[in-house]
Amino acid sequence: MVDCIFCGIVEGSVPSDKVYEDDSVLAFRDINPVAPVHVLIIPKKHVPSLLDAEEEPELMGKIIAAASKVAKELGLAEKGFRLVNNCGEHGMQTVYHIHFHLIGGRQLTWPPG
Ligand code: 5GP
Ligand code: ZN
């Protein structure tokens, strides 16, 4: 077994505040939110990072579709939001189970640091 906190959330051994789930995708609130809405969208399958996404085009499409659905359900459609993936050391990825941050509910700034 892979020792992975997000696999633990998928399996249910680690608690989480889920906002969306289907056969292949899970979305739950970030434990340390940076905005009023901060949701992590992940595949249930352990895919380490965006560098592995090339082999998983169908799954990545499902994640983007889930992001669109959750953004609307959480009231982000009118004002907008951001969908972010941090990859590797320079991207400041800390959990190596690919995830997309859905962030909104306040005015965001650009460019990021
Ligand atoms: P990264 O820097 O890898 O892109 O982001 C990892 C995110 O996972 C961080 O925003 C962090 O707050 C969140 N996180 C880490 N551990 C947990 C956890 O056990 N539960 C939840 N809900 N979020 C977590
Ligand atoms: Zn994992």
The ipTM estimated for the assembled molecules is 0.99
- Residue 58 alpha carbon to ligand 1 centre in Å: 24
Task: State residue 96's pLDDT score.
Answer: 98
Residue pair 22/66 in contact (Cβ under 8 Å)? The answer is yes
Report the alpha-carbon distance of residue 109 to residue 44 in Å, rounded: 31
Entry pTM: 0.98
Structural domain harbouring 28: 5-104
**64-84: pLDDT as tens digits:** 999 999 999 999 999 999 999
Q: Which residues line ion ligand 2, judged by CB < 5 Å?
A: 4, 6-7, 46, 97
Q: Which amino acid is at 75?
A: G
Taking CB atoms and a 6 Å cutoff, what residues make up the pocket around ligand 1?
A: 5, 14, 16, 28, 30-32, 40, 86, 92-95
Domain annotation covers residue 110: no
Here the CATH number for the domain that contains residue 35 is: 3.30.428.10
Task: Give 1's pLDDT tier (boundaries 50, 70, 90).
Answer: low
Average pLDDT, the chain: 97
pLDDT beyond 90 at 29: yes
Report, as residue numbers or ranges, the catalytic residues: 99
At residue 7's C-alpha, the angle toward residues 74 and 32, to 5°, is: 45
For the cut 60, the answer to whether the pLDDT of residue 90 exceeds it is yes
Question: Does 109 map to a domain?
Answer: no
The secondary structure element, H or E, covering residue 27 is strand 25-29
The domain total for the chain is: 1
